Structure 1
Amino acid sequence: MTAKWEKGEGNQGVLTVEVGADEFKSALDQAFQKVKKDVDIPGFRKGKVPRQIFEQRFGVEALYQDAVDIVVPPAYSKAIEETGIEPVDQPEIDLEEIEKGEPLVFKATVEVKPEVELGQYKGLEIEEFDTSVSEEEVENELEQLREQHSDLVVVEEAAQEGDTVIFDFEGFMDGEPFEGGQAENHSLELGAGQFIPGFEEQMVGMEPGDEKTVEVTFPEDYGAEDLAGQPATFEVKLHEVKRKELPELDDELAKDVDEEIETLDELKKQKREELEHNKEHEKEHHQQDTVVEKARDNASVDVPNGMIKSETDRMAQEMQQQFESQGISMDMYYQMAGTDEEGMKEQFKPEAEKRVRMNLVLEAIADAEELEADDEKIEEQLEQIAEANQRDKEEIRQFLEMQGNIETLKNELRMQSALQFLVDNSVTVEAKEEDGETEEEQT
């Protein structure tokens, strides 16, 4: 077998493969063994027809398609390996020469991984990230804890934003009730934005026992097409108003929040440490996001459509898994979002292209700097995966090897090394003031 790669425009090219006559003859023999068991010719038992009789009756061409199916896939895989190309999509196969006793020649038009022309990726500027924690931020955390440990108390007062109301409602369009527009003893927190825009605002000021007609217009992008953009009225009867009663900010609250804490001062210290820890993580993400975006924008690469399609498919699969874990079917999501699978993937395309471009650039940097995933990092990652899944590390290793995912893991770690390289070789500058002055310091 011989293979020749000719690069065309963009990321496409043509791979010309010649399969030897003997190899093609072997494929024809296998094709005959496959089809003869189903051939019914008078005078011969099924599966016993001689090859010569078969070819006289049907012609050797009747075996070509099966022979091609047998010989082309392995020949294509071997040709990829020999030429060193990296296809990113399925090829278009065209048969050029096919004849018994002669070599088989086919051409595969294929889109390959693009070349990346790196721009500046060392010395990229990162604005410094303030990790200090203010007293106000700590107080906000404590107020949230008060909210979380509050009780809902029934009040005989007019409903305010933030109150939880219990009410009946029935919706009408053109004076007629519509399906799904009725409920009794429904619970709603006013101001939470759970109902149609304008509905909750009109309930503010109502008192228990009040009845009111609420007028709204359904949003244009509302999930139910027969309601989208349409005006409607709701007859509302308010039964009960509940208001949050916040606990005192004291030692007792601290004990309720964490049984290992005795005083409010200990709780404040804990919250400050948590905020400091979170800000350190935010700083790390800020650094990584900044350098990778700049390196990506400084590079030149023509992203293949095949890679974008693969990434959108992966994003769609991730979303499906996420929704299914919440008990939401994709059909339900499509109805709520007013779209379908193709529409959703079309929305994913811009982000998918950014992700693919970023990964290609990181890979190119790893190549340029000869970065590899060393054995120690691989072992650490395997231990983390094993711990997360409560499995033995060697069991995880064997599973990944069986699935062919060890190389994927190595590549992911290699990309992480490239990302860390960008951060380590960046320059930190003061956050820009109004006068635009900056001061640099090496990270």
Structure 2
Amino acid sequence: MKSAVETLSPTRAKLTVEVPFEELKPSLDAAYQKIAKQINVPGFRRGKVPPQVIDRQVGRAVVLDEAVNDVLPKAYMEALTENSLTPLAQPDIEVTKFEDNEGLEFTAEVDVKPEITLPAYDGLSAKVDDLAVSDDDVTEQVDALRERFATLIDVERPAKSGDFVVIDLVATQDGEVVEGAEIAGFSYKVGNGGMIDGLDEALEGAAIDEEKNFVTQLVSGDLVGQDVDVKVKVTGVQEQELPELDDDFAQEASEFDTLAELREDVRERLTRGKRLEQAAAARDAVLESLLEQVEVPLPETMVTEELNARRENLEQQLVMSGLTLEKYLEEEGQTQEEFEADLDRRVRDAVAAQFLLDEIADKEEMGVDQAELTQHMIRRAQQSGQDPQEFVNHMFEHNHVPDLVQEIRRGKALQLLVEGATVTDESGNPVELKNLRGDGTIGEDEPEVADHVVVDAEDAEDAVDPAVEPAVDPTQA
């Protein structure tokens, strides 16, 4: 077999492959054997029909087609290896010549992994925001805890924001009740949002037994995006009474004896969370610093597929959240054009980062052992709420294990970048990353950092493939 490669672009190649007829013989023999088992010819046992009889009964052309179908993928893979190409998608294959006893010629156009010249990646620098927990942050968390221990008291006054109301609601279109849009005795917090546009405005100021009518658009179901008439009746109003903020509350709501101890614990928990957020920001900043130093050619088909996948993912999340795209963009303060431009930039950065991390993992000869793969799959299963064994079985059955291995290798490559980088906050203070534990605490400086990992495979995927999510943040088995 002979092959030649033509570079169509930095990310697309055209292979021209010639397979001499004598190299088709194993596939031709296999084709005769396969067809012999499928046909019945009087005087011959199934599977024992001679080739010349098959040629008369079925036709030589059918056998040749079967042989070509067998040899094409093998010859294509051999040509990829011979020319050191890594495909990124399915090829466009065209048979350009095939004659009996004269051999096979075909071409294959395919997106390929671009060649990247890695810049120096040890000693990168990045800057992140200061870690700060304010008194207001602590108060907000303590108030949220108070609400969990609040009691609801019936009141005889119109509803206001923050009240809980009991409502009966029905949506109709042209006088017909919309399927699934009728509820009774439903408890709803005024001002909570996320149910039906216009509901909070209708409820605020509504008295008990008062009915309000308004027009809105549904965000899910068969009538999504269409106007419907909504009638809502308030059957009860309840005011939230919060417990006194004192030592008694601290003892009731926590294991602490005093309110001061509770507040200090809240501050420490917030600080640990801020450390993790700062570490994530550092991870992204370090990777962005590397991306700025190298131009990575991107296959447009891969970018387009990723853009479409993210749009579809966003649409699904918006539906689940009860939001339209227009409402989401309004809340985000973005126009459609700004959103599309931002999405395109994020996708291109993500694809480029994948190529860079893969290149670093290859250069550093990073491997993945069975324990790492198992731990990664268990963690992925837990994150998706699936049974670990079922998740593992699915990964193997659908050949997703190579993708998981690549995720882990990217995580290791990103870990290498981050641990070798100099990261400071805006005030110039060094940011501790190497010994940052998963719970946000700082461990001792130890040779073994397996339990003090700054980034893992999921972090790497978030960094190179950040999800586009509605206000309410992938592979996806």
Report the TM-score, using the length of structure 2 for normalisation.
0.70
For residues 63-78 of structure 1, what are the structure 2 equivalents within 5 Å? 63-78=63-78
* Partner secondary structure for residue 26 of structure 1: helix
* Structure 1 match to 2:214: 215
* Structure 1 match to 2:440: none
2:243 to 244, 247, 261: 247
Cα separation, partners in 2 of 1:47 and 1:288, compared to 1, 3 Å: closer
Cα separation, partners in 2 of 1:282 and 1:37, compared to 1, 3 Å: closer
Offset at 1:191? 0.5
- Tell me which amino acid in the other structure corresponds to 1:29: D
Q: Percent identity?
A: 30
Cα separation, partners in 2 of 1:424 and 1:95, compared to 1, 3 Å: same
- Tell me which amino acid in the other structure corresponds to 1:274: R
Cα separation, partners in 2 of 1:415 and 1:251, compared to 1, 3 Å: same
Q: Say yes or no: does 1:148 pair with 2:134.
A: no
Q: Is the 8 A contact 1:373 1:411 kept in 2?
A: no
Give the whole-Å Cα distance in 1 for the aligned partners of 2:49 and 2:361.
Answer: 60
* Structure 2 match to 1:418: 413
Cα separation, partners in 2 of 1:319 and 1:430, compared to 1, 3 Å: closer
Give the whole-Å Cα distance in 1 for the aligned partners of 2:286 and 2:378.
Answer: 31
* Partner secondary structure for residue 98 of structure 1: strand
* Structure 2 match to 1:268: 263
* Structure 1 match to 2:52: 52
The higher radius of gyration belongs to 1
Offset at 1:255? 2.9
Offset at 1:319? 8.6
For residues 353-368 of structure 1, what are the structure 2 equivalents within 5 Å? 353-366=348-361
For residues 328-339 of structure 1, what are the structure 2 equivalents within 5 Å? none
For residues 162-241 of structure 1, what are the structure 2 equivalents within 5 Å? 162-173=162-173, 176-180=175-179, 181-209=181-209, 211-218=210-217, 222-223=219-220, 226=223, 228=225, 230=227, 232=229, 234=231, 236-241=232-237
Structure 1 residues 244-253 or 115-124, which shifts more? 115-124
- Tell me which amino acid in the other structure corresponds to 2:161: E
Give the whole-Å Cα distance in 2 for the aligned partners of 1:318 and 1:170.
Answer: 30
Give the whole-Å Cα distance in 2 for the aligned partners of 1:271 and 1:67.
Answer: 70
* Structure 1 match to 2:444: none
Per-residue displacement from partner, 1:349-392 (whole Å, max 9, x unpaired)?
7354432222112334455xx434367x98567557668879xx
- Tell me which amino acid in the other structure corresponds to 2:248: E
Offset at 1:276? 1.1
Per-residue displacement from partner, 1:375-411 (whole Å, max 9, x unpaired)?
7x98567557668879xxxxx9999999977765554
For residues 292-331 of structure 1, what are the structure 2 equivalents within 5 Å? 292-308=287-303, 311=306
Give the whole-Å Cα distance in 2 for the aligned partners of 1:128 and 1:182.
Answer: 49
Cα separation, partners in 2 of 1:146 and 1:317, compared to 1, 3 Å: same
Q: Is the 8 A contact 2:366 2:412 kept in 1?
A: yes
Offset at 1:229? 5.1
Structure 1: gaps of 5 or more residues? 324-329, 339-345, 391-395, 432-437
Q: Is the 8 A contact 2:373 2:405 kept in 1?
A: no
Per-residue displacement from partner, 1:116-145 (whole Å, max 9, x unpaired)?
355786766533422232233222211111
* Structure 2 match to 1:257: 253
Cα separation, partners in 2 of 1:147 and 1:44, compared to 1, 3 Å: same
* Structure 1 match to 2:458: none
Cα separation, partners in 2 of 1:160 and 1:129, compared to 1, 3 Å: same
Structure 1 residues 47-56 or 242-251, which shifts more? 47-56
For residues 371-410 of structure 1, what are the structure 2 equivalents within 5 Å? 371-373=364-366
Alpha-carbon RMSD: 4.3
Offset at 1:305? 3.8
Structure 2: gaps of 5 or more residues? 326-339, 383-390, 433-477
Per-residue displacement from partner, 1:240-259 (whole Å, max 9, x unpaired)?
1011111122233223333x
* Partner secondary structure for residue 99 of structure 2: coil
Structure 1 residues 164-173 or 186-195, which shifts more? 164-173
Cα separation, partners in 2 of 1:319 and 1:257, compared to 1, 3 Å: farther
1:282 to 258, 273, 277: 277
Offset at 1:35? 1.5
Give the whole-Å Cα distance in 2 for the aligned partners of 1:46 and 1:310.
Answer: 47
Cα separation, partners in 2 of 1:215 and 1:414, compared to 1, 3 Å: closer
- Tell me which amino acid in the other structure corresponds to 1:212: E
Per-residue displacement from partner, 1:252-308 (whole Å, max 9, x unpaired)?
3223333x4333233222211111111111110111112223433443223224534
Report the TM-score, using the length of structure 1 for normalisation.
0.75
Per-residue displacement from partner, 1:56-85 (whole Å, max 9, x unpaired)?
455422211111122222222222222221
* Partner secondary structure for residue 183 of structure 2: strand
